[in-house]
Amino acid sequence: MTPPHQTTSTGILAEFLLPTSDLNEDLPFFMKRLGFRLDTIFPADDPAVAVLSGHGVRVRLVRGAAEAPGTLRLMCDNPDLFAGGEREMVAPNGTRIEICAANPPLIAPETEHAFVVRRLKDREPWVIGRAGMHYRDLIPGRLGGSIIASHIRIPDGGPVPDMVHYHTVGFQLIYCYRGWVRVVYEDQGEAITLTAGDCVTQPPEIRHRVLEASDGVEVIEIGVPAEHITTIDHDLELPTNTLNPDRAFGGQTFCHHKVAEAVWKPWRIEGFQVRDTGITASTGGVANVQVAAFSGGRQPAITSHDTDILFTFVLDGTMTLEGQGREPSDLTAGDAFVIPPDMSTRFSNCSEGLELLEVSLPGTFATRTHDTL
Cβ contact 373:347 at 8 Å: no
What per-residue confidence (pLDDT) applies to 2? 45
Could you give all domains of the chain from N- to C-terminal order, each with its CATH number? 16-101 (3.10.180.10), 121-251 (2.60.120.10), 261-370 (2.60.120.10)
What per-residue confidence (pLDDT) applies to 46? 92
Least Cα distance to 217 among 132, 156, 259 occurs for 156
- pLDDT by residue, tens only, the chain of 373 residues: 444 555 556 688 999 999 999 999 999 999 999 999 999 999 999 999 999 999 999 999 999 999 999 999 999 999 999 999 999 999 999 999 999 998 888 888 999 999 999 999 988 888 887 767 899 999 999 999 999 999 999 888 899 889 999 999 999 999 999 999 999 999 999 999 999 999 999 999 999 999 999 999 999 999 999 999 999 999 999 999 999 999 999 999 999 999 999 999 999 999 999 999 999 999 999 999 999 999 987 778 999 999 999 999 999 999 999 999 999 999 999 999 999 999 999 999 999 999 999 999 999 999 999 998 8
Using CA atoms, how far apart are residues 369 and 373, in angstroms rounded to an integer?
Answer: 10
3-state secondary structure the chain: CCCCCCCCCCCCCCCEEEEECCHHHHHHHHHHHCCCEEEEEECCCCCCEEEEEECCEEEEEEECCCCCCCEEEEEECCHHHCHHHCCEEECCCCCEEEEEECCCCCCCCCCCCCCEEECHHHCCCCEECHHHCEEEECCCCHHHHCCEEEEEEECCCEECCCCCEEEECCEEEEEEEECEEEEEECCECCCEEEECCCEEECCCCCCEEEEEECCCEEEEEEEECCCCEEEECCCCCCCCCCECCCCEECCEECCEECHHHCCEEECCCCCEEEEECCHHHHCCCCCEEEEEEECCCCCCCEEEECCCEEEEEEEECEEEEEECCCCCEEEECCCEEECCCCCCEEEECCCCCCEEEEEEECCCCCEEEECCC
Cβ contact 373:344 at 8 Å: yes
What per-residue confidence (pLDDT) applies to 8? 58
What per-residue confidence (pLDDT) applies to 10? 67
What per-residue confidence (pLDDT) applies to 4? 52
How many C-beta atoms surround the C-beta of residue 75 within 10 A?
Answer: 15
